[in-house]
Amino acid sequence: MREGWGRVGVSGRLDNDVMAETGVTRTVLHVDMDAFFASVELRTRPELRGQPVVVAGAGERGVVVAATYEARAFGVHSAMPVGQARRLCPQAVWIEPHRAVYAEVSHGVMELLRAVTPLVQQVSIDEAFLDVTGALRRLGPARQIGERIRAQVRQGFGITCSVGIGRSKSVAKIASTRAKPDGLLEVPPDQTLAFLRPLPINALWGVGAKTEAALARLGIVTVGDLADSPLPTLVRAIGQANAMHLRAMANGQDNAPVVPERDEKSLGAEVTFDTDLPRGPELRRALLQLVERSTQRLRAQGLMCRTVGLKVRTSDFTTVSRARTLDSPVDSAKAVLAVAESLLAAVNLHGLPVRLIGVRLENLVQGEGQAVQLTLDQAAGPREPAALRAAEAAADQVRLRFGPKAVRPGTLVDTLCLEDDRQERR
Ligand SMILES: [Mg+2]
């Protein structure tokens, strides 16, 4: 986990420079699913809510991969050998993991977060940092953003998450841990030190049992103790790098930026409907909306795609994926929609209504003006008309300035977008 703090991307350094120049206080959210795998399992086993439930592979040699809070009360935790967990909590209900489902829910949650801001750094399957500093004017106070995310995760995926808000990633992460389960904790910037100081040192990200023991021998038990300790003493006990890093964090000095993934191999969006939809105009509208969202993100990153993928899940939970690779890359909603619609038309739904539909853009290449490789792509076939691309790019600019509702095809009903939710309430 520790390495994550030291890595600073180019954009991150720029962000920090801007922060330093303007004196803006960063606002970071840490969003963390509660007992993620177990919570996902309980969606299909609601009768087990409130009971100790352990998710673990078959056989006595396996380890626990997740446990509900009721099972944790017996001392069960993830990575614990199955045999030990059985002894601690013999009455627990055991469920085998369904990793494909977890990956799918994770993907959906991350998509939801990226609809709030592109500044999302996923740190594991079920947690991510969001830098909302630049989004506060658009989306409202951080606490409101956090509560909206919590509501959307609950409604959209049937699981709960906890949100920590602070002026840095480390403070936000500690806050979400304190908010668990199903809570939100905001640490106002001017209360950061008051919040940190009474905590045990293992609350700091990266303090393991060994560091904890070494510091305890010096009488350093709380974060406040650590903050007040002379650096040479700490260096002798836990080494130079560790000492500098932990002492800075204990003093609330953590400028590590939220670094969004730079090397996305694909991007997309999907939606699970409250009520399954038959083939028809409503399904088509949903598809258009997903195409719009994903192509906006594509263009925002200066990318184009060569492959358009479609995923359809019918009411019987059968999932079909189709993809088509184009001769030349595209980035307009119109071009992607044409492909997605023809893929959908070719899917045999067996007369069943659709439960989930998703669009995925793959084979991403740098857009115009950035990559030399594009001249090769251009040679490969006809490109999208420049006028169309220019029109959609202009619409992106308007959306950036005035919000997502400013430019939309008239019939769209947006069910996915946080910004839109807010505007509807105004
Ligand atoms: Mg979690």
Query: Quick one: average pLDDT of 346-368?
Result: 88
> Residue 277 sits in a domain of what CATH number?
3.30.1490.100
What's the total number of domains in the chain? 3
pLDDT at res. 209: 87
pLDDT at 378 > cutoff 50 = no
Structural domain boundaries, residue 351: 266-425
> Residue 258 sits in a domain of what CATH number?
3.30.70.270
Residue that terminates a domain, selected from 49, 73, 98: 98
Lowest mean pLDDT among 1-15, 51-65, 173-187, 264-278: 1-15
- Rounded to an integer, what distance in angstroms lies between the CA atom of residue 295 and that of residue 292? 5
- Range among 3-12, 110-119, 153-162 with highest mean pLDDT value: 153-162
Q: Say yes or no: 91 and 141 in one domain.
A: no
Contacts for 290 with CB less than 8 Å, ≥ 6 apart: 268, 269, 270, 271, 340, 357, 358, 359, 416
- Among residues 41, 111, 127, 419, the one annotated as catalytic is 127
For 128, list phi and psi in degrees, rounded to 5: -155, 150
Q: Say yes or no: 197 and 116 in one domain.
A: yes
Q: Say yes or no: 53 and 91 in one domain.
A: yes
Write the pLDDT tens digit of every residue in 239-264. Answer: 888 899 899 999 998 888 888 865 56
- Asked if 306 and 328 touch (Cβ cutoff 8 Å), the reply is yes
Residue that terminates a domain, selected from 98, 127, 147: 98
| Total number of residues shown for the chain | 426
Q: Say yes or no: 414 and 349 in one domain.
A: yes
Q: What 3-state DSSP class applies to 311?
A: strand
Q: Say yes or no: 220 and 301 in one domain.
A: no
Q: What 3-state DSSP class applies to 350?
A: coil
Confidence of residue 367 (pLDDT cuts 50, 70, 90): low
Q: Say yes or no: 273 and 191 in one domain.
A: no
- Rounded to an integer, what distance in angstroms lies between the CA atom of residue 79 and that of residue 56? 9
Q: Say yes or no: 245 and 355 in one domain.
A: no
Q: What 3-state DSSP class applies to 313?
A: strand
Q: Say yes or no: 200 and 249 in one domain.
A: yes
Residue 371 to residues 265, 332, 408, Cα–Cα distance (Å): 16, 18, 30
- Rounded to an integer, what distance in angstroms lies between the CA atom of residue 111 and that of residue 245? 32
Instruction: Determine whether 384 is an active site residue.
Output: no
Q: Cα(133) to centroid of ligand 1, in Å?
A: 23
Q: Say yes or no: 214 and 236 in one domain.
A: yes
Q: Which residue has the tokens 């630049």?
A: 134
Residue 109 to residues 113, 114, 140, 306, Cα–Cα distance (Å): 6, 9, 21, 25
Distance of CA 154 to the CA centre of its chain: 14
For the record, the structure tokens of 317 come out as 């939970």
Residue 77 to residues 89, 116, 132, Cα–Cα distance (Å): 11, 32, 32
Q: Cα(36) to centroid of ligand 1, in Å?
A: 6
Q: Say yes or no: 190 and 233 in one domain.
A: yes
- The predicted model scores a pTM of 0.59
pLDDT at res. 389: 64
DSSP 55-70: EE-SSTT-BEEEE-HH
Task: Please report the sign of the dihedral spanned by the C-alpha atoms of residue 149, residue 142, residue 113, residue 193.
Answer: negative
> Residue 94 sits in a domain of what CATH number?
3.40.1170.60
Q: Cα(323) to centroid of ligand 1, in Å?
A: 32
Q: Cα(34) to centroid of ligand 1, in Å?
A: 5
Q: Cα(33) to centroid of ligand 1, in Å?
A: 4
100-101-104-110 Cα dihedral, nearest 10 degrees = -120
* Helical H segments across 26-141, by residue range: 36-44, 69-72, 82-88, 99-116, 136-139
pLDDT at 278 > cutoff 50 = yes
Write the pLDDT tens digit of every residue in 64-111. Answer: 989 999 999 999 998 888 889 999 999 999 999 898 898 889 989 999
Q: Say yes or no: 272 and 246 in one domain.
A: no
Q: Say yes or no: 205 and 140 in one domain.
A: yes
Q: Cα(180) to centroid of ligand 1, in Å?
A: 9
End-to-end alpha-carbon separation of the chain, Å? 41
